[in-house]
Amino acid sequence: MARRFASRVDGWLVGVVFGSLFVGGMAIVVAASVGEGIPPLELGLALLVLIGTGAAMVWMMRTTHYAIEGDQLAVRGGPWRLRIAVADITRVAPSRSLLSSPAWSLDRLEIRYGANRSVLISPDDRDGFLRALRDAGVPAKVISSG
């Protein structure tokens, strides 16, 4: 049976992402209303990109989760999918890295696996997630508490 863990969501991070989209939208409005404005084709393209980016952000935020499915860790968010064999996990440690990742919080775990690969995740129930990893076969010595 799969155990699913939602991503923790930092309100300030969501604010930065959607605040940036708002500022972009306001810049389009100002540019369209100044002087001769923006030609209709360019205005339409700018609005399409802005709306598409906002929709993609909502999709990724609402679908980002982590699941332990048998002997695999599944990491999902929007179009992004990753499967990691539990046996390939070599280290799990806390991280505050700013690198882009399928995580909506900076309270993260770095999962190292395979030949020097890693992914950053932010399960909302960190303790439950770590227990589920141990139950799936990740040795306790691989999991760092801090």
Q: 5 lies in a domain?
A: no
- 54 with 81, same domain: the answer is no
Other CB atoms within a 10 A radius of the CB of residue 65 amount to 17
Q: 111 lies in a domain?
A: yes
Q: 34 lies in a domain?
A: yes
At 146 the three-state DSSP class reads: coil
- 83 with 134, same domain: the answer is yes
Quick: pLDDT tens for 19-74.
Answer: 999 999 999 989 888 877 788 888 899 999 999 999 999 999 999 999 999 999 99
CA distance 8 to 123: 5
Q: What is the pTM of this model?
A: 0.85
Q: 109 lies in a domain?
A: yes
Contact at 8 Å (CB) between 67 and 117?
no
Q: Which domain holds residue 120?
A: 65-142
Quick: pLDDT tens for 126-145.
Answer: 999 999 999 999 998 999 86
Domain end marker among 43, 61, 79 = 61
- 84 with 37, same domain: the answer is no
Which one-letter DSSP state was computed for residue 123? B
Residue listed under structure tokens 């863990």: 5
Contact at 8 Å (CB) between 84 and 102?
no
